[in-house]
Amino acid sequence: MWPMTNVSRALKRGFDILAVLAACPLLLPLVGAIWLALRLSAGSPVIFRQERAGKDMKSFTFYKFRTMRSDVDPYGPSPRSGSDPRLTPLGRWLRLTSLDELPQLWNVLRGDMSLVGPRPLYLEQARQWNEHQRRRLEVKPGLTGLAQIRGRASLTIEEKIDLDVQYVQRLGLWLDARILLATVVRLLSPRHIYEKRYSRDRDTWNNDKPIA
Protein backbone atom coordinates (compact mmCIF):
# COMPACT_ATOMS: atom_id res chain seq x y z
CA MET A 1 0.00 0.00 0.00
CA TRP A 2 1.16 3.55 -0.83
CA PRO A 3 -0.27 5.92 1.82
CA MET A 4 -1.83 9.18 0.65
CA THR A 5 0.46 12.06 1.62
CA ASN A 6 0.00 15.64 0.40
CA VAL A 7 2.29 14.78 -2.51
CA SER A 8 0.37 11.63 -3.43
CA ARG A 9 -2.94 13.53 -3.21
CA ALA A 10 -1.53 16.07 -5.65
CA LEU A 11 -0.39 13.22 -7.88
CA LYS A 12 -3.84 11.66 -7.70
CA ARG A 13 -5.44 14.95 -8.75
CA GLY A 14 -2.88 15.44 -11.48
CA PHE A 15 -3.47 11.94 -12.80
CA ASP A 16 -7.24 12.53 -12.85
CA ILE A 17 -6.81 15.64 -14.99
CA LEU A 18 -4.20 14.20 -17.34
CA ALA A 19 -6.12 10.94 -17.82
CA VAL A 20 -9.34 12.74 -18.71
CA LEU A 21 -7.60 15.16 -21.07
CA ALA A 22 -5.68 12.32 -22.72
CA ALA A 23 -8.93 10.42 -23.28
CA CYS A 24 -10.74 13.42 -24.77
CA PRO A 25 -9.74 12.78 -28.43
CA LEU A 26 -11.27 9.30 -28.17
CA LEU A 27 -14.23 10.11 -25.93
CA LEU A 28 -15.46 13.45 -27.27
CA PRO A 29 -16.73 11.97 -30.57
CA LEU A 30 -18.46 9.21 -28.57
CA VAL A 31 -20.02 11.76 -26.19
CA GLY A 32 -21.19 13.80 -29.17
CA ALA A 33 -22.71 10.75 -30.87
CA ILE A 34 -24.54 9.71 -27.69
CA TRP A 35 -25.78 13.27 -27.12
CA LEU A 36 -27.18 13.43 -30.68
CA ALA A 37 -28.73 9.96 -30.47
CA LEU A 38 -30.45 10.81 -27.18
CA ARG A 39 -31.63 14.18 -28.47
CA LEU A 40 -33.19 12.59 -31.55
CA SER A 41 -34.68 9.54 -29.81
CA ALA A 42 -35.73 10.85 -26.40
CA GLY A 43 -35.75 14.63 -26.71
CA SER A 44 -34.39 16.99 -24.10
CA PRO A 45 -32.92 17.22 -21.59
CA VAL A 46 -30.10 14.95 -22.68
CA ILE A 47 -28.08 15.46 -19.49
CA PHE A 48 -29.51 14.42 -16.13
CA ARG A 49 -28.48 16.67 -13.23
CA GLN A 50 -28.86 15.98 -9.54
CA GLU A 51 -27.35 17.17 -6.27
CA ARG A 52 -25.16 14.58 -4.57
CA ALA A 53 -22.98 14.43 -1.44
CA GLY A 54 -19.31 15.09 -2.10
CA LYS A 55 -16.20 15.26 0.06
CA ASP A 56 -16.95 16.51 3.58
CA MET A 57 -20.68 16.43 2.77
CA LYS A 58 -20.31 19.32 0.31
CA SER A 59 -23.13 19.26 -2.23
CA PHE A 60 -22.28 19.24 -5.93
CA THR A 61 -24.16 18.84 -9.20
CA PHE A 62 -23.77 15.33 -10.57
CA TYR A 63 -24.09 14.69 -14.33
CA LYS A 64 -25.21 11.64 -16.31
CA PHE A 65 -26.74 10.97 -19.69
CA ARG A 66 -30.49 10.68 -19.18
CA THR A 67 -31.58 7.03 -19.41
CA MET A 68 -35.23 7.32 -18.33
CA ARG A 69 -38.22 9.11 -19.78
CA SER A 70 -38.35 12.82 -19.00
CA ASP A 71 -41.76 12.54 -17.30
CA VAL A 72 -40.69 10.12 -14.54
CA ASP A 73 -39.86 11.07 -10.95
CA PRO A 74 -36.07 11.52 -10.79
CA TYR A 75 -36.21 10.53 -7.11
CA GLY A 76 -38.19 7.34 -7.69
CA PRO A 77 -36.74 3.87 -7.08
CA SER A 78 -33.95 2.87 -9.44
CA PRO A 79 -34.78 0.29 -12.13
CA ARG A 80 -34.50 -3.33 -11.02
CA SER A 81 -34.15 -4.69 -14.56
CA GLY A 82 -33.71 -3.65 -18.17
CA SER A 83 -37.43 -4.20 -18.74
CA ASP A 84 -38.38 -1.26 -16.51
CA PRO A 85 -40.84 0.78 -18.64
CA ARG A 86 -39.32 4.05 -17.42
CA LEU A 87 -36.09 3.31 -19.32
CA THR A 88 -35.71 4.50 -22.89
CA PRO A 89 -34.39 1.95 -25.43
CA LEU A 90 -31.09 3.80 -25.73
CA GLY A 91 -31.03 4.34 -21.98
CA ARG A 92 -31.06 0.58 -21.38
CA TRP A 93 -27.95 0.18 -23.51
CA LEU A 94 -26.21 3.14 -21.91
CA ARG A 95 -26.78 1.69 -18.43
CA LEU A 96 -25.60 -1.77 -19.51
CA THR A 97 -22.35 -0.35 -20.90
CA SER A 98 -21.99 2.33 -18.16
CA LEU A 99 -21.65 4.95 -20.90
CA ASP A 100 -24.36 6.97 -19.15
CA GLU A 101 -21.63 7.91 -16.63
CA LEU A 102 -19.40 9.66 -19.20
CA PRO A 103 -20.59 13.20 -18.33
CA GLN A 104 -19.08 12.71 -14.87
CA LEU A 105 -15.69 13.20 -16.49
CA TRP A 106 -16.65 16.89 -16.34
CA ASN A 107 -17.16 16.44 -12.59
CA VAL A 108 -13.63 14.99 -12.42
CA LEU A 109 -12.13 17.94 -14.31
CA ARG A 110 -14.01 20.39 -12.06
CA GLY A 111 -12.62 18.67 -8.97
CA ASP A 112 -16.00 17.50 -7.64
CA MET A 113 -15.03 13.87 -8.19
CA SER A 114 -12.01 11.65 -8.78
CA LEU A 115 -11.63 8.72 -11.15
CA VAL A 116 -11.52 6.43 -8.10
CA GLY A 117 -13.51 6.85 -4.89
CA PRO A 118 -16.85 5.97 -3.30
CA ARG A 119 -19.79 6.51 -5.66
CA PRO A 120 -21.62 9.79 -4.87
CA LEU A 121 -24.92 9.16 -3.08
CA TYR A 122 -27.88 11.31 -2.13
CA LEU A 123 -27.49 13.98 0.54
CA GLU A 124 -30.47 12.58 2.42
CA GLN A 125 -28.82 9.14 2.51
CA ALA A 126 -25.61 10.58 3.92
CA ARG A 127 -27.52 12.29 6.72
CA GLN A 128 -28.72 8.86 7.91
CA TRP A 129 -25.26 7.31 8.20
CA ASN A 130 -23.49 6.64 11.48
CA GLU A 131 -20.03 8.00 12.31
CA HIS A 132 -18.26 4.98 10.84
CA GLN A 133 -20.21 5.16 7.58
CA ARG A 134 -19.56 8.90 7.21
CA ARG A 135 -15.88 8.15 6.79
CA ARG A 136 -16.62 7.59 3.10
CA LEU A 137 -17.06 11.38 2.91
CA GLU A 138 -13.41 11.96 3.82
CA VAL A 139 -12.44 11.59 0.15
CA LYS A 140 -13.88 12.78 -3.14
CA PRO A 141 -16.48 10.48 -4.70
CA GLY A 142 -15.37 8.58 -7.78
CA LEU A 143 -16.42 7.21 -11.14
CA THR A 144 -15.51 3.78 -9.85
CA GLY A 145 -14.49 2.35 -6.51
CA LEU A 146 -13.81 -0.72 -4.43
CA ALA A 147 -17.51 -1.59 -4.14
CA GLN A 148 -17.91 -1.48 -7.94
CA ILE A 149 -15.23 -4.11 -8.52
CA ARG A 150 -16.22 -6.29 -5.55
CA GLY A 151 -19.82 -6.96 -6.53
CA ARG A 152 -21.62 -3.75 -7.51
CA ALA A 153 -25.30 -4.72 -8.03
CA SER A 154 -24.99 -7.92 -5.99
CA LEU A 155 -24.13 -5.92 -2.85
CA THR A 156 -26.49 -4.22 -0.41
CA ILE A 157 -25.98 -0.56 0.48
CA GLU A 158 -24.49 -1.60 3.83
CA GLU A 159 -21.92 -3.81 2.10
CA LYS A 160 -21.06 -1.07 -0.38
CA ILE A 161 -20.53 1.50 2.37
CA ASP A 162 -18.34 -0.96 4.30
CA LEU A 163 -16.16 -1.34 1.19
CA ASP A 164 -16.11 2.44 0.71
CA VAL A 165 -14.82 2.86 4.27
CA GLN A 166 -12.23 0.15 3.62
CA TYR A 167 -11.09 2.19 0.60
CA VAL A 168 -10.67 5.29 2.78
CA GLN A 169 -8.70 3.28 5.36
CA ARG A 170 -6.42 1.75 2.70
CA LEU A 171 -6.18 4.90 0.55
CA GLY A 172 -3.21 4.83 -1.81
CA LEU A 173 -2.19 5.27 -5.44
CA TRP A 174 -1.43 1.58 -5.87
CA LEU A 175 -4.96 0.68 -4.74
CA ASP A 176 -6.37 3.24 -7.21
CA ALA A 177 -4.38 1.66 -10.02
CA ARG A 178 -5.70 -1.81 -9.16
CA ILE A 179 -9.27 -0.54 -9.02
CA LEU A 180 -8.96 1.19 -12.40
CA LEU A 181 -7.51 -1.92 -14.02
CA ALA A 182 -10.23 -4.15 -12.53
CA THR A 183 -12.88 -1.68 -13.70
CA VAL A 184 -11.65 -1.85 -17.29
CA VAL A 185 -11.73 -5.66 -17.15
CA ARG A 186 -15.28 -5.65 -15.79
CA LEU A 187 -16.50 -3.18 -18.41
CA LEU A 188 -15.30 -5.55 -21.11
CA SER A 189 -17.15 -8.56 -19.69
CA PRO A 190 -20.91 -9.25 -19.32
CA ARG A 191 -22.26 -8.44 -15.87
CA HIS A 192 -25.47 -7.89 -13.94
CA ILE A 193 -26.01 -4.17 -13.28
CA TYR A 194 -29.43 -4.07 -11.60
CA GLU A 195 -29.78 -4.36 -7.83
CA LYS A 196 -32.04 -7.12 -6.57
CA ARG A 197 -32.18 -5.77 -3.04
CA TYR A 198 -31.09 -2.33 -1.88
CA SER A 199 -30.58 -3.00 1.83
CA ARG A 200 -30.25 -5.95 4.18
CA ASP A 201 -33.36 -4.71 5.98
CA ARG A 202 -35.52 -3.05 3.32
CA ASP A 203 -35.96 -2.72 -0.42
CA THR A 204 -35.55 1.07 -0.49
CA TRP A 205 -33.90 3.51 1.90
CA ASN A 206 -36.16 5.48 4.22
CA ASN A 207 -39.07 3.32 2.94
CA ASP A 208 -39.90 5.34 -0.16
CA LYS A 209 -36.71 7.00 -1.29
CA PRO A 210 -34.65 6.07 -4.35
CA ILE A 211 -31.82 3.63 -4.83
CA ALA A 212 -28.65 5.47 -5.86
- For the stretch 40-76, pLDDT in tens is 998 899 999 999 999 999 999 999 999 999 888 877 7
Most confident range (mean pLDDT) of 148-152, 170-174, 175-179 is 175-179
pLDDT of residue 7: 85
What is the Cα–Cα distance from 192 to 87, expressed in whole angstroms? 16
Range of the domain at 10: 6-187
Mean pLDDT estimate for the chain? 87
Asked if 111 contacts 14 with a C-beta cutoff of 8 angstroms, the reply is no
In a domain, 200, yes or no: no
What is the Cα–Cα distance from 116 to 183, expressed in whole angstroms? 10
In a domain, 207, yes or no: no
Residue 3's pLDDT band, with cuts at 50, 70 and 90, is low
At residue 116, the 3 state secondary structure works out as: strand
> Domains in the chain: how many in total?
1
- For the stretch 111-137, pLDDT in tens is 999 999 999 988 888 888 899 999 999
In a domain, 205, yes or no: no
pLDDT of residue 153: 77
In a domain, 144, yes or no: yes
In a domain, 15, yes or no: yes
In a domain, 210, yes or no: no
The set of residues, in sequence order, having a beta carbon less than 8 Å from that of 165 and lying 6+ positions away, is 132, 133, 135, 136
In a domain, 172, yes or no: yes
In a domain, 203, yes or no: no
pTM (predicted TM-score) = 0.87
